[in-house]
Amino acid sequence: MSGTTVPLDNAKRSEIMSLQAISQVLPYKFAGGDARIDELTMTCSTCCKEIGPDHIKAEFTARGDMADLKGYGLCYDCKTVTPMVAKFSADGSCLLFNGSSWVKGQWGKGVVAVEPWRLHIIPFLIAAALFLAWLYFHFHSSQQHQEPPTPAEIGRGET
């Protein structure tokens, strides 16, 4: 999920639309325990709105105490597709592929919410930008308010 958007060709569009909605597959109860995934939502990587289970098209493969998901969130608000690859375990752990590496996470309480990685860095970037802007304006404005020395002050050495 690099944050860039590209048009989908007809073959990819047909492949995505042929997948089942995740709402048709869930709830899923893991074998040999009480662990269960009731619902899955994700966040659009472009507009950051929630994509519900009826709009997530996916291949969901159950393997006992593991479940693999390869899917796409369809955002009808901004007309983009957000890819998602995840591996869920009955112990509550999951692995999410962020486009270049696997990130370990947790799921629980029957709902799994998967957000793109860049959502976690946005608050930090906003805070850093605000701090740097404050620093710049604080020092820049303090330098502008100093009056230049008058020729009389320069002559007396009062600079």
**Where in the chain are the domains?**
10-116, 121-156
Weakest-pLDDT range from 14-28, 109-123, 133-147: 109-123
Per-residue pLDDT tens digits for 85-104 = 999 988 888 888 877 888 88
Per-residue pLDDT tens digits for 27-79 = 888 887 788 888 888 888 888 889 999 999 999 898 888 899 999 999 998 88
Identify the residue with better confidence: 63 or 126.
63
What pLDDT was estimated at residue 2? Answer: 44
Per-residue pLDDT tens digits for 102-111 = 888 887 654 4
Q: Name the pairing type of β-strands 28-29 and 36-37.
A: antiparallel
Would you give the distance in Å from CA 39 to the centre of its chain? 18
- Count other Cβ atoms within 10 Å, centred on residue 60: 21
Task: Mention every residue, 6+ apart, whose C-beta is less than 8 A from residue 85.
Answer: 69, 70, 71, 96, 97
Task: Mention every residue, 6+ apart, whose C-beta is less than 8 A from residue 64.
Answer: 30, 31, 32
Torsion of CA 137, 140, 145, 151, to 10 degrees: -170
- Count other Cβ atoms within 10 Å, centred on residue 80: 18
